[in-house]
Amino acid sequence: MAGVSLQCGDCGALLKSVEEAQQHAELTSHSNFSESTEPVLNLVCTTCNKPCRSKTESELHTKRTGHADFVDRTAEATKQISLEAPKPDLGSEEGAGASTTNQVDSEEMIIPEVDCKLLEELEAMGFPKGRATRALHFSGNASLEAAVNWVVEHENDPDIDQMPLVSGNTKSEAPKPSPTPEEVKMKAQELRERARKKKEEEEKRMEREREKERIRVGKELLEAKRIEEENERKRILALRKAEKEEEKRAREKIRQKLEEDKAERRRKLGLPPEDPATIKPAAPVVDEKKTMLPIKPAIKAEQMRECLRSLKHNCKDDDARVKRAFQTLLTYIGNVAKNPDEEKFRKIRLSNASFQDRVGSLKGGIEFLELCGFGKLDGGEFLFLPGENVDMGVLNSAGSELTSAINNPFFGVL
pLDDT in tens, 370-380: 889 898 887 87
Q: How confident is the model at residue 231 (pLDDT cuts 50, 70, 90)?
A: very high
E-state strands within 218-340: none
d(CA 18, CA 86) in angstroms, rounded, equals 9
**Where are the domains positioned within the chain?**
5-91, 109-167, 300-407
343-351 average pLDDT score: 89
Provide the pLDDT for residue 222.
92
Q: Please tell me the total number of residues recorded for the chain in this structure.
A: 414
Say whether pLDDT at 90 is over 50: no
First to last CA, the chain: 116
Q: Calculate what percentage of the chain has a pLDDT beyond 70.
A: 83
* Topology alike, domains 109-167 and 300-407: no
27 close to 165: Cβ distance less than 8 angstroms: yes
Q: Calculate what percentage of the chain has a pLDDT beyond 90.
A: 14
pTM: 0.31
7 strand-pairing partners? 14, 34
Kindly state the DSSP code that residue 363 receives in the 8-state scheme.
T
> Class of 109-167 per CATH?
mainly alpha
Provide the pLDDT for residue 286.
47
Tell me if the domain spanning 300-407 has CATH number 3.40.50.300.
no
- Asked whether the CA dihedral 341, 345, 348, 349 is positive or negative, the reply is positive
Q: In whole numbers, what is the pLDDT of the chain averaged over residues? A: 80
Kindly state the DSSP code that residue 38 receives in the 8-state scheme.
S
